DNA sequence: TATTGTTTTAAACGCTTGTTTAAAATTGTT
DNA sequence: AACAATTTTAAACAAGCGTTTAAAACAATA
């Protein structure tokens, strides 16, 4: 696995950094070129336009966060173990890439925003059988009756919102970045136990 | 209560609509002026600059959402009832003003973003005694031991994220705006029961 | 009505934006 | 070494940005 140091790759990498940090409207082509140490014209030489480059970055950001979850659900574990593991890994992922959720949500809300094809990505998650497994457990009375939308919302809300609202929370509680990171560690346990306890009410093995 | 139809008020109102929908960087002074049916120059005539006008709008958006919660906590109810009531009212508020949370979070994350004074607002919430009440209940063993940060995060995550991620969720699940609104209704019950059950584990009166 | 002060307008300001151009530099090939 | 193709550059383009200006329209007062 050699690192691609070509001009094209450098620009794309710089674009990812800048777009994730500032959004499509929040940055300029020249800013991206500078971040890559390149001339402005090269951005369009390799990617035709700012929008074109953005689409590539957006798509790969979505894939990053979706595909990071796929292999988790493929493990041989009980459903509860998978859920615990997923939340843990999601928090780890978001610690490394905190800008991604906000970035995706923002650009989707934008007028003329980025509407890409999610079907195949969502399909890949579905193909792990995680959703079917939930249906089975629900039918067997071992899991609470809940829609797929609600279940996904419960998990994503409690994983992503704490990262998305970092600046706001720091401001409200007057705490530093490190202090908030510390809070997130204990918050993760609360989230995990709360969700597991709610989704599997009769299960007694909750720690 | 007479409605202010002055030019100044019209511009401010239009600015609120446009800023909330598109953000500071996502719109232009001319766009705001047009939305108000006014000349561009009037924006700066009354508000000195686009940034100045934005600060007013941002401040009032924050106040809208914070102050909408204050009176809820002033009611004479048990802590659990207050929490249920708060979540209910928060969902109602967000149904009316779905852009506000995303708007605030976004602008706070922006470079040179809007850093306003939250102390007095957070203070107003604190003065309802809700936080002290939680401390008391925790000390008495009637409520789970949890930090203030985590408690607020739990509630805000589960109230705000479903609204913030509307477009994303619609895209993932391929559902219409109305269908998603319907999902939110049942989701609110899940959220309420889950949070109450988690925060007050020994309480038996959960429906 | 004449003279204020205020409000609104069209036009322009300098600057930055995304994008294009045409020449220069570099690389690859024979 | 000579030519061709590719890559990079500096400069320019028109369009749009926030903001300012100076004159016009309006309102109020005397």
Q: What is the pLDDT of residue A207?
A: 43
B32 with B133, same domain?
no
Whether B106 is in a domain gets the answer: yes
Last residue of a domain, one of A48, A69, A85: A48
How far is Cα of residue A186 from the mean position of the Cα atoms in its chain?
A: 20
Q: What is the pLDDT of residue A161?
A: 98
Residues B138, B192: Cα–Cα separation, whole Å = 19
Among the residue ranges A2-6, A194-198, B95-99, the one predicted with the least confidence is A2-6
Whether A207 is in a domain gets the answer: no
Whether A206 is in a domain gets the answer: no
**A chain contacts of residue B180, beta-carbon cutoff 8 Å:** 149
Residues A98, A192: Cα–Cα separation, whole Å = 19
Q: pLDDT class for B38, splitting at 50, 70, 90?
A: very high
The token pair that represents A77 in the structure block: 């574990």
Instruction: Please tell me whether any atom of strand D lies within 7 Å of the Cβ of B49.
Output: yes
How far is Cα of residue A155 from the mean position of the Cα atoms in its chain?
A: 12
Are A159 and A191 contacting, i.e. CB atoms less than 8 angstroms apart? Answer: yes
Say which CATH number the domain at B3 has: 1.10.10.60
Instruction: Please tell me whether any atom of strand D lies within 7 Å of the Cβ of A7.
Output: yes
Q: What is the pLDDT of residue B120?
A: 86
For residue A206, pLDDT beyond 50? no
Give A3-11's long-range contacts (Cβ < 8 A, gap of 24+). Answer: A7/A36, A7/A38, A7/A42, A7/A46, A8/A46, A10/A36, A10/A37, A10/A38, A11/A36, A11/A38, A11/A42, A11/A43, A11/A46, A11/A47, A11/A53
Q: What is the pLDDT of residue B118?
A: 78
Q: pLDDT class for B114, splitting at 50, 70, 90?
A: confident
Whether B207 is in a domain gets the answer: no
Among the residue ranges A41-50, A56-65, A113-122, B116-125, the one predicted with the least confidence is A113-122
B101 with B150, same domain?
yes
Q: pLDDT class for B165, splitting at 50, 70, 90?
A: very high
Q: What is the pLDDT of residue B184?
A: 98
Last residue of a domain, one of B11, B31, B48: B48
For residue A87, pLDDT beyond 90? yes
A32 with A122, same domain?
no
Q: Are the Cβ atoms of B22 and A118 closer than 8 angstroms? A: no
B62 with B28, same domain?
no
Which candidate in A161, A203, A207 is best for mutational testing of the B interface (most B CBs within 10 A)? A161
Average pLDDT of chain A?
A: 92
Whether B193 is in a domain gets the answer: yes
For residue A113, pLDDT beyond 90? no
B84 with B177, same domain?
yes
Q: pLDDT class for B206, splitting at 50, 70, 90?
A: very low
Instruction: Please tell me whether any atom of strand D lies within 7 Å of the Cβ of B30.
Output: yes
Domain extent, residue B131, equals 57-199
Q: What is the pLDDT of residue A203?
A: 57
A104: distance to nearest CA of chain B, Å?
A: 8
Percentage of chain A lying above the pLDDT 70 cut? 96
Protein-proximal nucleotides of chain C (any atom < 7 Å from a CB): 7-12, 16-22
Mean local confidence (pLDDT), B114-143 = 90
Our CA angle for B166, B172, B178, nearest 5°, is 45
For residue B204, pLDDT beyond 70? no
Are A128 and A74 contacting, i.e. CB atoms less than 8 angstroms apart? Answer: yes
Mean local confidence (pLDDT), B163-187 = 96
Percentage of chain A lying above the pLDDT 90 cut? 83
Whether B98 is in a domain gets the answer: yes
Average pLDDT of chain B?
A: 92
Q: What is the pLDDT of residue A1?
A: 47
Residue B140 belongs to what H/E stretch? none
How far is Cα of residue A139 from the mean position of the Cα atoms in its chain?
A: 30
Of B102, B150, B190, Cβ closest to residue A186: B150
Size of interface A-B (CB pairs under 8 A): 137
Residues B107, A193: Cα–Cα separation, whole Å = 32
A2 with A88, same domain?
no
B150 with B189, same domain?
yes
B2 with B70, same domain?
no
Q: What is the pLDDT of residue B203?
A: 57
Mean local confidence (pLDDT), A104-110 = 93
Q: Are the Cβ atoms of B172 and A118 closer than 8 angstroms? A: yes
Q: Which residues of A136-147 are buried (b: 16+ CB within 10 A; e: fewer)?
A: ebeeeeebbebe
Which residues touch B8 (CB under 8 Å, ≥6 apart)? B46
In 3-state terms chain B splits into helix, strand, coil percentages (rounded to 5) of 70, 0, 30
B148 with B195, same domain?
yes
Residues B133, B136: Cα–Cα separation, whole Å = 5
A26: distance to nearest CA of chain B, Å?
A: 6
Residue identified by tokens 């429906």 is: B207
Say which CATH number the domain at B88 has: 1.10.357
Whether B182 is in a domain gets the answer: yes
For residue B24, pLDDT beyond 90? yes
B87: distance to nearest CA of chain A, Å?
A: 15
For residue B207, pLDDT beyond 50? no
B178 with B112, same domain?
yes
Mean local confidence (pLDDT), B66-93 = 93
How many structural domains does chain B have? 2
The token pair that represents A30 in the structure block: 């020249």
**pLDDT tens-digit profile of A18-72?**
999 999 999 999 999 999 999 999 999 999 999 999 999 999 999 999 988 898 9
Q: pLDDT class for A3, splitting at 50, 70, 90?
A: low
B110 with B152, same domain?
yes
B128 with B161, same domain?
yes
For residue B43, pLDDT beyond 70? yes
């Amino acid at each position: 696995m050699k690192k691609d140091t070509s001009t094209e790759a450098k620009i794309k990498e710089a674009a990812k950094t800048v777009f994730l940090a500032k959004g499509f409207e929040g940055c300029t082509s020249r800013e991206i070129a500078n971040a890559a140490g390149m001339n402005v014209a090269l951005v369009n030489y390799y990617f035709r336009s700012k929008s074109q480059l953005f689409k590539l970055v957006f798509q790969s950001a979505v894939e990053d966060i979706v595909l990071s979850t796929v292999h988790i659900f493929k493990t041989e574990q009980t459903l509860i173990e998978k859920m615990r593991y997923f939340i843990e890994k999601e928090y780890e992922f978001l610690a490394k890439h905190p800008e991604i959720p906000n970035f995706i949500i923002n650009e989707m809300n934008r007028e003329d925003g980025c509407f890409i094809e999610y079907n195949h990505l969502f399909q890949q998650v579905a193909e792990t059988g995680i959703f079917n497994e939930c249906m089975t457990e629900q039918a067997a009375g071992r899991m609470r009756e809940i829609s797929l939308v609600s279940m996904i919302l419960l998990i994503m809300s409690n994983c992503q919102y704490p990262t998305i609202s970092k600046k706001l929370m720091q401001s409200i509680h007057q705490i530093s970045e490190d202090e908030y990171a510390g809070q997130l560690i204990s918050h993760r346990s609360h989230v995990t136990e709360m969700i597991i306890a709610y989704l599997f009410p009769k299960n007694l093995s909750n720690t």
